[in-house]
């Protein structure tokens, strides 16, 4: 259970990514000039319009995409979270046709907070494991 506004913000972030009908909820958690990085995929979005595109791309490829928080912390205007990402690769990604295989990988995010919003999110996860699970890399 959240013990601070920052922790609740991180819980809401995970919840918004985990539900297909909550794009507006996700966008409402971020500042207008937000930066969202998915480092394993080499994606950097700036602003809510680019974040919306990335969300739709991700949810289109993994309609059952889910982030389950396993731990988190907040310190001043910084926060971090560990999580388990899961989903079924049912839609195409650029250069990667759908495989209909499931992934389940551990990851972490580093956040910069501004007031009661997320200004920056940097996601890190094991891309090699995800690619092995969908059959793109040898096991």
What's the pLDDT tens digit per position in 10-41?
999 999 999 877 899 999 999 999 999 999 99
User: pTM of the prediction?
Assistant: 0.92
pLDDT value of residue 19: 87
Domain assignment present for residue 138? The answer is no
Domain assignment present for residue 12? The answer is yes
Which pair of tokens denotes residue 70? 């396993």
Closest CA to 123 of 48, 55, 53, 60: 55
- Span 42-58, mean pLDDT? 96
What's the CATH number where 108 sits?
A: 3.10.450.50
Residues 6+ positions from 11 with CB-CB distance below 8 Å: 2, 69, 72
- Checking if the pLDDT of 1 tops 70, the result is no
Domain assignment present for residue 18? The answer is yes
Domain assignment present for residue 17? The answer is yes
Domain around 44 = 5-133
- Checking if the pLDDT of 46 tops 80, the result is yes
How many domains does one find in the chain? 1
Domain assignment present for residue 78? The answer is yes
Quote the CA–CA distance of 34 and 107 in Å, as a whole number. Answer: 21
Domain assignment present for residue 92? The answer is yes
Domain assignment present for residue 72? The answer is yes
Residue 78: Cβ within 10 Å count: 13
CB 77 within 8 A of CB 113: yes
Domain assignment present for residue 104? The answer is yes
Residue 61: strand pairing partners: none
Closest CA to 13 of 66, 89, 61, 86: 66
What's the pLDDT tens digit per position in 52-106?
999 999 999 999 999 999 999 999 999 999 999 999 999 998 888 999 999 999 9
């Amino acid at each position: 259970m959240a013990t601070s506004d920052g922790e609740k913000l991180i819980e809401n972030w995970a919840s918004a990514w985990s539900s297909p009908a909550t794009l507006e909820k996700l966008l409402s958690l971020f500042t207008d000039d937000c930066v969202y990085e998915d480092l394993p995929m080499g994606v950097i979005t700036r602003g809510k319009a680019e974040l919306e595109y990335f969300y739709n791309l991700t949810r289109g490829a993994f309609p059952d995409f889910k982030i389950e928080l396993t731990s988190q912390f907040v310190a001043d205007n910084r926060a971090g979270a560990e999580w388990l990402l899961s989903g079924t690769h049912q839609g195409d990604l650029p250069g990667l046709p759908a495989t209909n295989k499931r992934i389940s990988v551990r990851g972490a995010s580093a956040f910069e907070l501004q007031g009661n919003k997320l200004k920056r999110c940097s996601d890190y996860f094991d891309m090699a494991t995800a690619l092995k699970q969908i059959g793109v890399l040898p096991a």
